[in-house]
Chain A
């Protein structure tokens, strides 16, 4: 409010200075308090608003399935390691029974490859509020983290990050899209 009026105020002040008379000149029954606010607005100028550009990361490559040299078992569709996405029910962070063997397979692999790191990135569907969905995404990735930790994966091998509803894999707005977006991605680094 203050901000936007100011430019006008500045311009009005300019007239005041150069001609010596107010440019906000009341001719009728104008409300004098309204007039007062303008003249007294202090200098602030949005012409000076500056932008900033964040670079595209700092060299280290994250994200699911990228950056790591993984064995053929990861691309064998009959091997649970080929599944690197775990899906969840609406508003739930409980790992569903069908994904327990998938998490266990990754846990076994990580336990036997102690130098291997993964990022567990949690996601939510677009429904509801964004920050609540960040929390929900984190709870999902922490559920997976807990299961892996209980199966011998060390804390230093695992990193948890939640993107909430910010990174959908499917951009639709129906139940089939939402199902695919409620997920934890196991990203080998």
Chain B
């Protein structure tokens, strides 16, 4: 009974909100990996009304974009079987494939029954067979789910295809601009605007459970930090001190926000307890201290500071104490974000040639520059640590890009109109 109620509520709510189509979105692989594993996702056989989502394309794009796989283009396939007994593995061996997947999707009056099989091409072994059901408008989600299953089966790591991202877009409107905070699937599809304003919106940050987003809005002509619950749209202002209210970051337990305030002089890092609204000041002095983020265990806070003259990253105990400098290469290292396991740190690194995304291995402190742009910003890790999402400006157009943490693979999510910035990958 309980279950049935929940399903009905879900169905009704889903019906009320139409899913925006990402009509203006193109996904382009800008740098491919040489060592990727070849895999063929055969177009799924279709029965009934399916709409315009092609599952095999979504899965191929997910797996190809991960850097671990190279998806065989459909045009190169010699046969397109959809049932296990019809697969001739020699057809796939001659194409140099290691793995292949086949499937079927049956449209069933608003819902879809999907099944798929994954094979090792070399020995014909069935690695995985699944049947699943997706509701209306959920075919892309189902495809991402299949991508996750295949990815985890073959790499041993959890996939991150069925995740979401938040980002800020802006479009010209009259003499000014309209800023929109949007949440979309990790591949940029199904964008939804969760807040908009003619004044800037900045710095979206996810709560650890993915239910809320903290962000900065200037809609009162001053900066203010808001926390908005995604399910209800309900939002509240949590920080509106004089001066800067910026750079919110949820603590791993979700109870506090690390923020930047300048009410006491220069920009400093504070911790705001969301329950009691009490503030703890963590940094002081004349320097710029900003862009705080928590280590995944909650014990430390990393932030950007120019206390040494140029912006560099520093780490300090979350309860206060002495900060120690973390970055030493280059004269600009800012906006650090940890991977979920805390082993890697993504940052914006600047030197003569511009601003690029780099990842530091925390154990060895070695830094690997991942990107080649000159205006790359706002890195954030995929929940599984395999990719870094960032905002890039290439040829005067801003776009979101994803790069694998080894730098081998880069994929661009381009939006047709307006600017898109400040992406944040949901936990």
Q: Which residue numbers of A lie inside 8 Å of B, CB to CB? A: 1-5, 7-8, 10-17, 23-31, 34, 38, 43-58, 60, 62, 91, 126-132, 134-136, 138-139, 160-164, 166-167, 172-173
Contact = CB atoms under 8 A, between A and B. Distances in A.
Contact of B377 (A7, A53, A130, A160): A130
A163 B199 CA distance: 10
21 contacts: A1-B383, A8-B145, A17-B3, A27-B131, A29-B129, A44-B231, A45-B10, A47-B17, A49-B233, A50-B17, A51-B195, A53-B195, A54-B219, A57-B198, A128-B355, A129-B304, A131-B246, A131-B290, A132-B304, A135-B260, A173-B393
Interface stretch (B23-31, B91-99, B220-228, B361-369): B220-228
Contact of B144 (A4, A13, A30, A163): A4
A54 B197 contact: yes
B409 to A, nearest CB: 21
A8 B334 contact: no
A58 B192 CA distance: 26
Contacts of A173: 375, 393, 396
A11 B335 contact: no
B264 interface: no
Given A129-B291, A132-B334, A49 B231 contact: yes
Chain B, interface size: which category?
Answer: 35 or more
Interface string B194-216: 11111110110000011100000
Interface of B: 3-4, 6-7, 9-10, 13-17, 111, 113, 115, 117, 125-135, 138, 141-142, 144-145, 149, 152-153, 158, 160, 162-164, 183, 185, 192-200, 202-203, 209-211, 217-223, 228, 230-235, 243-244, 246-247, 260, 262, 266-267, 288, 290-291, 304, 310-311, 332, 334-335, 348, 350, 354-355, 375, 377-378, 383, 393, 396, 421-422, 426-427
A34 B348 contact: no
B426 to A, nearest CB: 7
Contacts, number: 250
Contacts of B192: 49, 51
Contacts of B378: 129-130
Contacts of B185: 4
B198 A56 contact: yes
